[in-house]
């Protein structure tokens, strides 16, 4: 009970075939295959361009604490304290 049997699968397949037709289903599967091969090609190009020698260095922004310390030091220099 509750499981999908062979008869339910056959009925679903028949309904899908009637709604979309044989040509449309094969066209969708062809597009799906092209998409997967394009994705694999893009991933392989990404890996080859990600060489460590060519990697860009990303620097973290200055923290708010160091910025406030710099401002307080500048104001104390101006006031002479």
Q: Per the structure block, which two tokens stand in for 54?
A: 């060519």
In degrees, to the nearest 5, what angle opens at C-alpha 41 toward C-alphas 38 and 44?
Answer: 150
More confident residue, 5 or 53: 5
List, for residues 20-74, the tens digit of each pLDDT value. 887 887 888 899 999 999 999 998 887 776 655 555 667 777 665 555 555 555 5
| 39 in Cβ contact with 31 (< 8 Å) | no
């Amino acid at each position: 009970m509750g499981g999908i049997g062979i008869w339910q699968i056959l009925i679903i397949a028949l309904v899908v075939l009637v709604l979309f037709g044989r040509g449309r289903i094969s066209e969708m599967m062809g597009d799906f295959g092209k998409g997967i091969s394009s994705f694999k090609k893009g991933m392989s190009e990404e890996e080859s361009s990600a060489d460590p020698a060519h990697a860009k260095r990303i620097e973290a922004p200055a923290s708010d604490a160091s910025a406030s310390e710099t401002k307080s030091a500048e104001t104390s220099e101006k006031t002479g304290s």
